[in-house]
A = this chain, B = another copy of it.
């Protein structure tokens, strides 16, 4: 009810410093370039900065928001790891995505102002937020932000598009390989090791996300291990044959990358 609409002042090029936002939220953020204010000039960044709020941590296991909850915010994951899921009527859930630092969360709620999935922290997470009102204001005012925001939304479409193709066309074994590669690439984009990481989600989550049962995921991983493509110790994964993994994933993902050079 308290709508809390910030008053935009014209031609603001300076960061206003106050006790709540000592240095600005984005300007000190490591993953800024993966996030909403990617590619902005210092002046534009300062403007945007002013509307972004730091929110409290979401503890592991806690929800950022629930399923079908009214939402007037857009969130960005600053640090941590989260999953999106849709509850099944039978008590289970369908996992629809995993989120790493720099990812925007809540784009799918713009359509009707209501969330279409629940988002839960798999690791203690810090998140930033911006009100949709402020976002609309800013994207009107800051053209590069507008363009980037459109690209981000479009990328969200492309991602779900690729998941559709995966679920329609790709064999179980290759789904698992693609999943690991996707994580690997997202780690790399954030400056973490690409071939050595920890899975923050359970096997059940992975299976649900990939449209497979937990048993099939296990067998898929076991098979990759037998083929000496990965080493595995519980949730710790080490990719020992990235090229081989990429190759077999690409065979499976031919449908995702039809124009890939032979």
Cα A139 to Cα B238 with chains together (Å): 46
B153 and A154 contacting across the interface, CB-CB below 8 Å: yes
Interface size on A, residues (CB 8 A): 46
A258 and B157 contacting across the interface, CB-CB below 8 Å: no
Q: A248: CB under 8 A from chain B?
A: no
Partner of A161, one of B96, B110, B136, B254: B96
Query: Whose C-beta in chain B lies nearest to the C-beta of A113?
Result: B151
Query: Whose C-beta in chain B lies nearest to the C-beta of A254?
Result: B89
Query: Which of A109, A158, A163 counts the most chain B CB atoms within 10 A?
Result: A158
Q: A156: CB under 8 A from chain B?
A: yes
Which residues of A73-115 have CB atoms within 8 Å of chain B's CB atoms? Answer: 86-89, 94, 96, 107-112
B139 and A146 contacting across the interface, CB-CB below 8 Å: yes
Interface pick from A17-25, A44-52, A165-173:
A165-173
Query: Whose C-beta in chain B lies nearest to the C-beta of A164?
Result: B163
Which residues of A222-254 have CB atoms within 8 Å of chain B's CB atoms? Answer: 254
Query: Which of A67, A116, A117, A141 counts the most chain B CB atoms within 10 A?
Result: A116
Q: Given the known A-B contacts A96-B161, A110-B151, are A136 and B146 also in contact in the complex, defined by CB atoms under 8 Å?
A: yes
Q: A27: CB under 8 A from chain B?
A: no
Cα A111 to Cα B155 with chains together (Å): 5
B146 and A254 contacting across the interface, CB-CB below 8 Å: no
Can you pick out 25 interface pairs between chain A and chain B where the beta carbons lie within 8 Å of each other?
A: A68-B259, A86-B165, A88-B255, A89-B260, A94-B168, A94-B169, A107-B154, A108-B158, A110-B151, A110-B153, A111-B157, A136-B147, A139-B140, A139-B146, A140-B140, A150-B153, A153-B153, A153-B154, A153-B157, A156-B157, A160-B164, A164-B164, A167-B168, A168-B211, A169-B211
